[in-house]
């Protein structure tokens, strides 16, 4: 069956080694950071712990009474910090009894004075040498509680979005996913463009067309190659997304999958047209990636048939993948369906990109039946 | 029957072939013309790789473009400098072409074995094509063209790269195959078709000049071809007066073979196909000679 022959040609070991090397390079330089450093430092790591505990105890939303419960946790943590300070001779000498007083006195002290130096040393010892959890957690609580309180001030700039913004979904979780999915989507686009870009050109360069096109299959080979290209694209995209989610599962964000994007932390920075949960949002980005991968495959497929040398192929492919990366980073993966743009803009772009891919394919398919082969 | 009706082929403003009319029945047809005369253009139209700008080509009275798959199913084609995958073995390459030709796997395997034996490559079927010599590659090309046992076999310069022994074997093979099919073979080497072609087609000035059997072609020079041994200093004069087809240095001068409309004190000789070819394409030959001197 000719489909398998074309598949074997696409899955050429040399190309596979090439894309593996590119992927490793891409992972090392653009992706690994977001896996290895999540949550990134303190107090983000402490906030993460608090957020997960809140979901475990209160579910995916935090109402006013539950918020009072969180405030009690905060008070408990403050007491732990106070107990630590009571035991500490320097703190006692400086008259520091709480985390808040440490901050206030440090702020009030004259910079460079002996008292300032002592307080600064105490602060550094607590926070960076001994890394006392209670002090970091206080910072985390303060940030989180401020966001919760501020969420009541979130205005609803767009008609139709009415929400109390009580969902628990921290910004750093969303931001981390956004960075990862943007880079993964770009990598998939590059890989698909590279693999599918080689569907026609090598045959053309090897002068295979005069033999292929006079066979019974003839010009229908174009369709067989198209099917092999689309199957390859789906397999490559699935493998890459599979590997991505395997790595992403290590980030421990699954407790937030059922939290709405309209959370008290995200609502202050970004608003979404749809009331997606974080899990649904992930699915939406996955759908976009499959769609753009297919679009890249269709464009590469047509380009590969049009160009006559590898240099031209690489040049055009760079333009295509750069455009895709720009579209991804502007709105199609980053801040997808956010109120940064009108809702119709997203759907219009999705429609336009779909039409571009289909038109390019139909145009070439029509020409294919009448084009002279040399 | 394969017929070419008033076919013209233009590439933008350039005309490659003009108002060509041809008919092919069973047997071997030699398409003889110098390089660049339009042989490949005609062949590419006959195999539907390119399409006539005007006129049509029919097989059994139906347009070959409309017949599509049905026509290509009975077609075998060996292009000049045909493509192959260096990393494939001969068998794997032929299996790929067999799949394109719609042969099922079992049938294809048997047919490949049979054809590799026919061209003397049975022992190297599992070797990669990158290890093959030019002649071996050409034989693989012949195999791929014959995979579907075609009724119409079109071969563009098929003997290129073959040594004399392989050429002889190839000619024998073609004679056997020609019994029940149309074979069109293009070449600029007269000896390739001299002994086997039923008819010779000559293309000149973008048109078919002759489509005749060899006897008829030779008769064009009947009583007009002479040989004479002349002194060196007379060679230029002969060139300006007659169509000199060949020169050969002899002990006592130069032996010239030339065409003259009038008889003289020269030896009249029997014309060969090569003489006709050289005579018909005299201008092209001279031009090519001039270019060489440049």
Full domain range(s) for residue A226: 2-36+170-368
For residue B4, give the 3-state DSSP assignment. strand
Which among B68, B54, B58 is positioned nearest to B2, based on CA atoms? B58
Same domain, B252 and B286: yes
Q: Which two tokens stand for residue A199?
A: 């569907």
Place of tokens 């002759």: B210
Same domain, A274 and A209: yes
Examine the pLDDT at A160 and tell me if it is beyond 70.
no
Same domain, A143 and A267: no
Same domain, B240 and B193: no
Comparing CB atoms, the residue among A207, A218, A374 nearest residue B83 is A207
Q: Which two tokens stand for residue A190?
A: 């590059």
Same domain, B51 and B190: yes
Report chain A residues whose CB lies below 8 A from the CB of B69. Answer: 216, 218
Which among A44, A12, A63 is positioned nearest to A167, based on CA atoms? A63
Angle between helices A99-108 and A133-151 (to 10 degrees): 90
CB B162 within 8 A of CB B138: yes
Same domain, B214 and B234: no
Report chain A residues whose CB lies below 8 A from the CB of B68. Answer: 218
Same domain, A211 and A308: yes
Is B101 within 8 Å of A372 when comparing Cβ atoms? no
What is the residue-averaged pLDDT of chain B?
89
Average pLDDT, integer, range B127-141: 93
What secondary structure does DSSP assign to A105-165, as a single string? HHHHSPTTSHHHHHHHHHHHIIIIIS--HHHHHHHHHHHHHHHHHHHTT----STT-----
Same domain, A196 and A327: yes
What secondary structure does DSSP assign to A199-238, as a single string? TTHHHHHTT-HHHHTTSSSGGGHHHHHHHHHHHHHHHHHH
Is B101 within 8 Å of A217 when comparing Cβ atoms? yes
Report chain A residues whose CB lies below 8 A from the CB of B85. Answer: 206, 208
Question: What does the radius of gyration of chain B's CA atoms come to, in whole angstroms?
Answer: 22
Same domain, B112 and B141: yes
pLDDT at A268: 82
Is A372 within 8 Å of B47 when comparing Cβ atoms? no
Same domain, A134 and A183: no
Same domain, B80 and B174: yes
pLDDT at A156: 63
Spell out the residues 6+ positions from residue B224 whose beta carbon is closer than 8 angstroms to its own.
Answer: B259, B260, B261, B271
pLDDT at B137: 93
pLDDT at B289: 44
Which among A124, A151, A178 is the end of a domain? A151
Comparing CB atoms, the residue among A2, A208, A372 nearest residue B83 is A208
Examine the pLDDT at B285 and tell me if it is beyond 70.
no
Average pLDDT, integer, range A146-162: 75
Is B51 within 8 Å of A370 when comparing Cβ atoms? yes
Which range (A78-82, A183-187, A261-265) has the least confidence?
A261-265
Report chain A residues whose CB lies below 8 A from the CB of B83. Answer: 203, 206-211
Place of tokens 């040989």: B227
Same domain, B127 and B81: yes
Q: Which residues, in sequence order, are bridge partners of residue B228? A: B256
Report chain A residues whose CB lies below 8 A from the CB of B148. Answer: 215-216
Residue A203 touches partner B, C-beta closer than 8 Å: yes
Same domain, B190 and B140: yes
pLDDT tens track for A274-285? 999 999 999 999
Comparing CB atoms, the residue among B50, B79, B100 nearest residue A217 is B100
Examine the pLDDT at B293 and tell me if it is beyond 70.
no
Residue of B nearest to A14 (CA): B87
Q: Which two tokens stand for residue A183?
A: 């880079």
Same domain, B200 and B235: no
pLDDT tens track for A325-350? 898 888 888 989 998 899 999 999 99
Same domain, B51 and B165: yes
Task: Report the helix count and the strand count for chain A, using DSSP H and E.
Answer: 16, 0
**Strand B182-187 to strand B27-32: parallel, antiparallel, or no bridges (unpaired)?**
parallel
What is the residue-averaged pLDDT of chain A?
92
Q: Max Cα separation, chain B?
A: 70
Same domain, B234 and B134: no
Angle between helices B273-280 and B282-293 (to 10 degrees): 70
> How many structural domains does chain B have?
2
Q: Which residues of A57-79 are buried (b: 16+ CB within 10 A; e: fewer)?
A: ebebbbeeebbeebeeebeebbe
Same domain, A117 and A226: no
Is A211 within 8 Å of B83 when comparing Cβ atoms? yes
Q: Which two tokens stand for residue B212?
A: 């005749």
Question: What does the radius of gyration of chain A's CA atoms come to, in whole angstroms?
Answer: 28
Same domain, A309 and A202: yes
Which range (A156-165, A216-225, B55-64, B244-253) has the least confidence?
A156-165
Average pLDDT, integer, range B6-21: 93
Comparing CB atoms, the residue among A207, A214, A216 nearest residue B102 is A216
Report chain B residues whose CB lies below 8 A from the CB of A11. Answer: none
pLDDT at B191: 84
Same domain, A212 and A129: no
Average pLDDT, integer, range A178-199: 96
Q: What is the CATH number of the domain that holds B202?
A: 3.40.50.300
Average pLDDT, integer, range B89-112: 96
Cα A336 to chain centroid distance, Å, stands at 11
Q: For a pLDDT cut of 90, what percent of chain A falls above it?
A: 80
What secondary structure does DSSP assign to A48-67, as a single string? HHHHHHHHHHH-SB--HHHH
Size of interface A-B (CB pairs under 8 A): 73
Examine the pLDDT at A35 and tell me if it is beyond 60.
yes
Same domain, A262 and A307: yes
Report chain A residues whose CB lies below 8 A from the CB of B46. Answer: none
Rounded to whole angstroms, how far apart are CA atoms B7 and B41? 11
> How many structural domains does chain A have?
2
- In angstroms, the separation between the Cα of residue A313 and the nearest Cα of chain B is 21
Which among B218, B239, B270 is the end of a domain? B218
Which among B162, B193, B218 is the end of a domain? B218
Place of tokens 């010779």: B200
Phi-psi region of B223 (alpha: psi -120 to 50; beta: other; left: phi over 0): left
Q: Which two tokens stand for residue A78?
A: 């403050």
Comparing CB atoms, the residue among A211, A217, A370 nearest residue B144 is A211
Alpha-carbon torsion, ordered A150, A156, A160, A163, to 10 deg = 10
Same domain, B68 and B83: yes
Examine the pLDDT at B284 and tell me if it is beyond 60.
no
Full domain range(s) for residue B275: 220-293
């Amino acid at each position: 069956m000719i489909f398998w022959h074309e598949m074997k040609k696409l899955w050429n070991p040399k190309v596979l080694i090439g894309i593996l090397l590119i992927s490793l390079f891409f992972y090392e330089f653009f992706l690994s950071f977001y896996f290895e450093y999540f949550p990134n430092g303190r107090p983000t790591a402490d906030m993460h712990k608090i957020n997960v505990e809140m979901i475990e105890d209160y579910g995916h939303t935090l109402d006013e009474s539950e918020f009072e419960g969180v405030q009690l946790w905060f008070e408990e943590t403050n007491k732990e910090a106070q107990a630590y300070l009571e035991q500490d001779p320097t703190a006692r000498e400086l008259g520091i009894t709480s985390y808040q007083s440490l901050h206030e006195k440090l702020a009030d002290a004259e910079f460079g004075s002996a008292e300032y130096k002592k307080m600064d040393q105490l602060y550094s010892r607590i926070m960076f040498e001994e890394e006392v959890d209670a002090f970091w957690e206080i910072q985390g609580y303060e940030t989180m509680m401020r966001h919760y309180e501020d969420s009541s001030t979130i205005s609803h700039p767009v008609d139709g979005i009415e929400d109390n913004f009580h969902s628990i979904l921290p910004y750093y979780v969303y931001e981390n996913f956004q960075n990862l999915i943007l880079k993964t989507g770009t990598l998939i686009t590059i890989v698909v463009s590279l693999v599918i870009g080689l569907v026609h050109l090598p045959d053309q360069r090897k002068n295979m067309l005069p033999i292929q096109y006079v066979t019974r299959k003839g010009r229908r080979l174009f369709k067989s190659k198209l099917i092999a290209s689309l199957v390859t694209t789906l397999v490559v995209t699935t493998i890459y997304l599979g590997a991505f989610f395997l790595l992403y599962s290590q980030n421990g964000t699954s407790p937030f999958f059922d939290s709405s994007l309209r959370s008290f932390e995200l609502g202050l920075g970004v608003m979404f047209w749809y009331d997606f949960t974080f899990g649904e949002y992930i699915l939406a980005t996955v759908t976009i990636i499959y769609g753009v991968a297919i679009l890249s495959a269709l464009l590469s497929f047509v380009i590969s048939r049009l160009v006559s040398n590898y240099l031209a192929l690489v040049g055009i492919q760079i333009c295509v993948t750069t455009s895709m990366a720009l579209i991804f980073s502007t709105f199609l993966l980053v801040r997808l369906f956010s109120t940064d743009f009108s809702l119709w803009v997203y759907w219009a772009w999705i429609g336009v990109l779909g039409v571009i891919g289909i038109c390019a394919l139909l145009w070439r398919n029509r020409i294919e039946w009448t084009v002279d082969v040399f | 029957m394969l017929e070419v009706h008033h076919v013209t082929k233009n590439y933008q403003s350039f005309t490659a072939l003009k108002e060509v009319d041809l008919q092919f029945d069973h047997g071997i047809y030699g398409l003889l013309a110098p390089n660049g005369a339009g042989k490949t253009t005609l062949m590419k139209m006959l195999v539907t790789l390119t399409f006539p700008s005007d006129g049509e080509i029919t097989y059994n009275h139906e347009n070959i473009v409309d017949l599509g798959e049905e026509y290509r199913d009975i077609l075998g084609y060996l292009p000049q400098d045909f493509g192959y995958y260096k990393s494939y073995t001969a068998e794997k390459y032929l299996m790929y072409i067999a799949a394109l030709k719609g042969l099922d796997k079992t049938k294809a395997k048997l047919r490949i074995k049979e054809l590799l034996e026919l061209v003397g490559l049975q022992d190297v079927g599992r070797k990669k094509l990158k290890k093959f010599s030019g002649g071996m590659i050409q034989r693989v090309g012949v195999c791929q063209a014959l995979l579907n046992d075609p009724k119409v076999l079109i071969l563009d310069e098929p003997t290129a790269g073959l040594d004399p022994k392989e050429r002889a074997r190839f000619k024998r093979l073609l004679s056997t195959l020609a019994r029940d099919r149309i074979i069109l073979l293009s070449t600029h080497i007269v000896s390739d078709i001299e002994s086997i072609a039923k008819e010779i087609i000559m293309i000149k000035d973008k048109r078919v000049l002759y489509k005749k059997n060899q006897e008829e072609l030779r008769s064009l020079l009947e009583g007009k071809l002479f040989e004479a041994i002349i002194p060196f200093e007379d060679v230029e004069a002969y060139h300006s007066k007659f169509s000199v087809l060949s020169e050969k240095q002899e002990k006592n001068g130069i032996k010239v073979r030339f065409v003259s409309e009038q008889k003289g004190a020269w030896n009249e000789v029997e014309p060969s196909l090569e003489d006709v070819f050289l005579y018909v394409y005299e201008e092209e030959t001279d031009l090519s000679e001039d270019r060489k001197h440049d």
